[in-house]
Each structure stands twice: as C-alpha cells, then as structure tokens.
Amino acid sequence: MDKRRFEGRAVLVAGGSRGIGAAVVRRLAGEGAAVGIGYRTASAAAESLVAEIEAAGGQAKAVAGDIGQPGAAEAMVEAAHSAFGRLDGLVNTAGIGPYRPLVEVDESYIRAMFDTNVTGAIMLTKAAAAVLPSPGGRIVHFASRLAYSPIPTSTVYAASKAAVVALTHGFAKELGPKGITVNAVAPGVIETDMTASIIVERGEAIKAMTPLGRIGQPDDIAGIVAFLLSDDAAWITGRTILADGGFN
C-alpha cells in the first residue's frame, strides 16, 4: 500500500476531534492528507490534534460548527475548502446518540437527533458536492449497526442512522454522473469515551457474541474509511459497510 496515497489531497472530517473521528484524522494525515477537523464544542481537543499533526509534519485545521444548526454545515465545508484551497473528500462522523425509552421521548429530543444526524448529513453532502473534484470526489457518512437491529431505548437514534443508509444510497445515484462516490460505514460497538459505560456493563457479553472475540477499536474503522476515500474504492458507491466484527 502507498503510505502517502493522499498526498496533495484535502479531507474534511466532521466530528473529527475525538473517538472514531480522531482516529480517522490521524490515519488520513499519516497518509499525506491535509485534514480539516470539524468539531462542535471540543475546541481544545481539536486544537491539540492539529498541533499533533503539525508536529509530525502534516497539515490540519480545526473548524468549528454544530451541523445541527442552520448554515453550519455549509460554513464548515467552506472553511475547510478555503483553508486548503481544495477539498477532495468529506467524512461525516459527527452525530449525537443519547438513548431514551419511548416513555421519555419528546419532540425536542427527536428534532435534535434528526437535525444533527440526518439534516446535518444532507447539508454537508450538498455543500461538499459543490466543491469536490468531478470526477474523483469522495463522501463517507456514518450509520450504525443499530440501523439494522435496534435495541430497546435506541430506536430514535437507530431511525436516524437508517436514514443515513437511505440518503447514502440515494445521493450516490444523484452524484454518480459527476464521478463522486457516496458510501457509509455502520460500526458496531467501538471502544471510545462515548461507549465506556456500555463496555463496562456489557463488554464481556459483546465479546462473547463477536466471532473475533474482542471490542472494536477506532483504528478498525479508520482503515475502512481510508479505503473508501482511496482510488482503490472507485467502483464502490451507494453502499453501507457493516463493521461489527461479525456480531450476532
């Protein structure tokens, strides 16, 4: 594999300051990409990651924005495009996911979830499609294993991620004539600060139900994203890759 396969390319990673997003940022920067690190509130984490990448000789820019708010997704794409003078790929790991049982669900909870996870994804796609190279642009969204098999209390979140699967398929058809691919990754449980409580409570059970016998790591997902952004994935579009270690 070409260890500098993204040399000369620029990628925006929305939600790139922590967890899976940060692993994606490190992977892309390590392979030569200039990376826009989109974040909502974690400014210190984003700036620390920028400093880490620059110290290693790479190029990165922290870009603030809450994609669940009107105009924020477009502004984030524009900021990354302006910083690097080009934009070759979009990775959307941004999302919110608090679970609630039906009895506790209210309209504000539903709207917040869909504003970020669905509307944000749509508007990022629209803004990126206007500046990505044609042909050659790459868009990678994040769904979830829960989109296919919700668990109790996850239903609204799972529905928002099922919408991501649908929009990935649909937008791939719209952008295919421009030579822009649109794909998604649907992870199972991945070990991050956001899943710490789940792993404490159910980690051994998850391992027992996973043929590979371990909890997924952010780097497991970062490698899949890097592949989907690469030239090797030029014939893949409209697809959601289920990455859960074979969980059953």
Give residue-wise pLDDT tens across range 162-211. 999 999 999 999 999 999 999 999 999 998 887 878 888 888 989 999 99
Catalytic (active site) residue 99:
no
| Domains identified in the chain and CATH numbers | 10-243 (3.40.50.720)
Q: HSE of 147 in the Cβ direction (CA atoms, 13 Å)?
A: 23
Would you state the pLDDT for residue 231?
97
pTM: 0.95
218 Ramachandran zone, left/alpha/beta (phi>0; psi -120 to 50) = alpha
Q: By CB neighbour count within 10 A (0-12 exposed, 13-18 middle, 19+ buried), where does 169 fall?
A: middle
pLDDT average, residue stretch 138-160: 97
Given the residues 39, 109, 148, 157, the one annotated as active site? 157
